[in-house]
Amino acid sequence: MRTFDVVVIGAGPAGEVAAGRLAERGLDVAIVEDRLVGGECAYWACMPSKALLRPYEALAEAKRNPGAAEAVTGALDVAAVLARRDEIIHDLDDSAQLPWLEDRKVTLIRGHGRISGERRVTVGDEEVEARKAVFLAPGSLPLMPPIEGLDTIDGAWTNREATTAKQIPESMVVMGGGVVGVEMSQAFQTLGCQVTLIEGARRLLPNEEEFACVQLTEALEHYGVNIRTGRKATKVEQADDGMVTVHMDDGTSATGERLLIALGREPSTKDVGVEVVGLEPGKLVEVDEHHRVPGHEWLYALGDVNGISLFTHMGKYQARLAADHVLGEDHSAQHGANGKQSPRVVFTEPQVAAVGHTSETAADAGIEVEIVETSTSGNAGGSFYGRNAEGTARWLVDKERGVVVGCTITGAEVADFLHAATIAIVGEVPVARLAHAVPSFPTRSEIWLKLAG
Ligand X SMILES: NC(=O)c1ccc[n+]([C@@H]2O[C@H](COP(=O)([O-])OP(=O)(O)OC[C@H]3O[C@@H](n4cnc5c(N)ncnc54)[C@H](O)[C@@H]3O)[C@@H](O)[C@H]2O)c1
Binding site per annotation, positions? 50, 113, 176-183, 199, 264, 304
Per DSSP bridges, beta strands 233-238 and 120-123 are unpaired
Contact stretch for ligand X (CB under 6 A) within 258-266, 284-292, 412-420, 438-446: 258-266
Q: Which does 307 bind (CB under 5 to 8 A by kind): ligand X, ligand FAD, none?
A: none
Q: Which of 34, 86, 360, 428 binds ligand FAD (CB under 6 A)?
A: 34
User: To 5 degrees, how large is the angle CA 358–CA 362–CA 365?
Assistant: 140
Q: Give the strand order in the sheet containing 258-261.
A: 226-229, 194-199, 171-175, 258-261
Neighbours of 357 (CB within 10 A): 26
* Dist CA 217 CA 226 (whole Å): 10
Per partner kind, with CB cut-offs from 5 to 8 A, the member of ligand X, ligand FAD, none near residue 113 is ligand FAD
Query: What residues contact 314, with CB distance under 8 A and at least 6 apart?
Result: 308, 338, 342
Cα–Cα dist 416/443, whole Å: 12
Give yes or no for residue 259 binding ligand X (CB under 6 A): no
Cα 149 to chain centroid, rounded: 28
390 near ligand X (CB under 6 A) = no
Of 296, 304, 21, 378, the C-alpha closest to 142 is 304
Closest distance of CB 368 from ligand X, Å: 28
Question: Considering beta carbons, is residue 163 or 377 the nearer one to ligand FAD?
Answer: 163
Least distance from ligand X to the Cβ atom of residue 180, Å: 3
- What span, in angstroms and rounded, lies between the C-alpha atoms of 263 and 304? 15
> Looking at beta carbons only, is 141 or 452 nearer to ligand FAD?
141
Amino acid identity of residue 185, one-letter, is S
Selected binder of ligand X within 8, 17, 233, 405 (CB under 6 A)? 233
Q: Is 134 in the site for ligand FAD (CB under 6 A)?
A: no
Q: 299-318 mask for ligand X (x: CB under 6 A)?
A: -----------xx-------
Between 178 and 382, name the residue whose CB sits nearer to ligand FAD: 178
Instruction: Give the number of other Cβ atoms within 10 Å of residue 93's Cβ.
Output: 10
**CA separation for the pair 290, 284 (Å, rounded):** 16
Rounded Cα gap, residues 152 and 156, in angstroms? 9
* 344 Cα distance to chain centroid: 7
Who contacts 26 (Cβ-Cβ below 8 Å, separation ≥6)? none
Residue nearest ligand X, Cβ-based: 178
Residue 177 engages ligand X in binding (rule: CB under 6 A) = yes
Residue 340 gets the label, from left (phi > 0), alpha (psi -120 to 50) or beta, of alpha
* 268, interface contact from ligand FAD, ligand X, none, CB < 5-8 Å by kind: ligand FAD
**With CB under 6 A as the contact rule, which of the stretches 75-83, 302-310, 370-378, 413-421 interacts with ligand FAD?**
302-310
50 vs 291 by CB, closer to ligand FAD: 50
Candidates 84-92, 114-122, 344-352, 419-427; binding stretch for ligand X (CB under 6 A): 344-352
Segment interacting with ligand FAD, rule: CB under 6 A, options 5-13, 86-94, 216-224, 379-387: 5-13
Q: Can residue 199 be called a binding residue for ligand FAD (CB under 6 A)?
A: no
Under 8 Å between Cβ of 185 and 221: no
List contacts with ligand FAD (CB under 6 A): 9-15, 32-36, 39-41, 45-46, 49-50, 112-113, 137-140, 159, 163, 180, 268, 272, 303-304, 310-313, 315
List contacts with ligand X (CB under 6 A): 145, 147, 175-181, 183, 198-201, 206, 232-233, 262-265, 310-311, 344-347
